[in-house]
Amino acid sequence: MGRQRAGGRWQMADGNNLFMMRIRGTPNHNLISGNFYTFLKLVLRGKDHRVFMTDLRLQIPRYNVYTHPDIMVVKNKLVLQDNRNDTVTNPLMICEDIRLS
């Protein structure tokens, strides 16, 4: 399962740690993600879609992967992992702010 440890979040695949991500992003990352979240909320208003930010974890059951994308869009009913209230399993779209430096 995905775990949070002091200093970061661990992404998991088949029970193995892939890499550590910072819990706190940069101000620019936060602004970009927040602006895109707001854009999606406005565009999808009145439709049967829900937009979520980084607080929710994503499980990709097919690959047994857990991650925390910047933004997720879910259509219709939200499906959570069994016995969890913080892990989504049915995103329509995931968004990640990735900068190459």
Q: Taking the model in full, what pTM does it have?
A: 0.73
Concatenating the DSSP letter of every residue in 3-59 gives EEETTEEEEEETTEEEEEE-SS--HHHHHHHHHHHHHHHHHTTTSSEEEEETTSEEE
| 101 or 86, greater pLDDT | 86
End-to-end CA distance of the chain: 30
Residue-range domains of the chain with CATH = 3-95 (3.90.1570.10)
Q: What is the pLDDT of residues 33-92, one digit of tens each?
A: 899 999 999 999 999 999 999 889 999 888 888 888 999 999 999 999 999 999 999 999
Q: Which residues contact 60 (CB under 8 A, 6 or more apart)?
A: 66, 67
